[in-house]
Amino acid sequence: MICSVDIHPDGGKMATAGHGANVGSGLLIIWDIKNVWNEGYPTEVRSETEKLASIPFTKCVNCVRWSRAHNGRYLVTGGDEPEVTIWEYKGTFRSEGSIGSNKGPALREKYTAVHKLYGHQMDIIHLEWSHNGWFLATGSLDGKVVIWNARHFPDRIAVLDENCSGHTDSVIGLSWDPIGKYLATFSFDKSVKIWQSDDWKCVKTITEPFADVIHCIWNLGRECSISDVFSNGLVTRWIIFDFARCNE
């Protein structure tokens, strides 16, 4: 089962993360999807995707994200364990062709784990790089959000928990505003919290009119869009929040 998907900043690669072949294991796959975007290619060619890398994990991988500020040189993964892993792209190599195949050696990519980040006590559910590349935010079942110094791993900048007006239940989502001034977090405690990045204080807690938050995104203007589900669990709606009012 695939739990997370992210597209490389140049649009030519896709990362998929989720369960592995064995019970409880995880798998990260990097796919070549350049042909998908080329309308000049025949449909059968455009539908072809090739594995560039396959990285096994001992636990399921819940989330994967490329760093857009670093042109996709780094990606981060988190899953059913407390640690977060930073991976660095290390170039390409030619793999051996498979027996009986008429294809020659294939081009593959190498990724190396360059940092392990420890700051949570339970599974990692979501993680996001800030758009400017300064921060990495991670959310966990332990109810905490950890802000990491993406320019100097493994340094931690802040821990957003109940001691600083944080969430009282598992954190299931994170979303940075386009300029990196605010971070929105949402949780099983049925709230969305808006944090400002200059001092990491919670400047707004939103608890109504929704029941369960399932997604949160910022637009390029000054608004945060929050998606929730009604009590029947079938109907979704979007609530638009003007983040210019965060300090009101």
For position 143, which CATH number holds?
Answer: 2.130.10.10
Residue 227 clears pLDDT 70, i.e. is over it: no
**Domain end point (choices 100, 118, 136):** 118
pLDDT at residue 48 tops 70? no
Mean pLDDT of the chain: 83
Higher-confidence position of 108 and 238: 108
Task: Let me know whether 105 and 183 are in one domain.
Answer: no
Domain of residue 114, residue span: 1-118
What per-residue confidence (pLDDT) applies to 231? 41
Site of tokens 């929040």 = 241
Q: Are residues 76 and 134 in the same domain?
A: no
Report the distance separating Cα 226 and Cα 190, nearest Å: 12
Does pLDDT of 75 surpass 70?
yes
What six digits make up the tokens of 49?
A: 């995707």
**Does residue 176 sit in the same domain as residue 144?**
yes
- Each residue of 16-33: pLDDT tens digit? 999 999 999 999 999 998
> 70 phi and psi, to 5 degrees?
-105, 20
Q: Length of the chain in residues, anyone?
A: 248
Per the structure block, which two tokens stand in for 161? 């928990």
pLDDT at 47: 52
**Contact between residue 186 and residue 224 where contact means Cβ atoms under 8 Å apart:** no
**Band of the pLDDT at 214, cuts 50, 70, 90?**
low
Are 113 and 186 contained in the same domain? no
Do residue 7 and residue 99 come from a single domain?
yes
d(CA 111, CA 65): 14
> 15 and 71: one domain?
yes
Whether pLDDT at 39 is above 60: yes
- Domain boundary residue, one of 118, 151, 178: 118
Confidence class of residue 41 from pLDDT cuts 50, 70 and 90? low
Place of tokens 């360059």: 114
Co-location of 102 and 155 in the same domain: no
CA-to-CA distance for 207 and 108, rounded, in angstroms? 47
Count of structural domains, the chain: 2
Domain boundary among 118, 135, 159: 118
| Residue 37 sits in the same domain as residue 74 | yes
54 and 138 within one domain: no
**Same-domain pairing of 77 and 133:** no
Residue 153 has pLDDT above 70, yes or no: yes
**Pair 149, 184 in one domain:** yes
The answer on 52 and 12 residing in a single domain is: yes
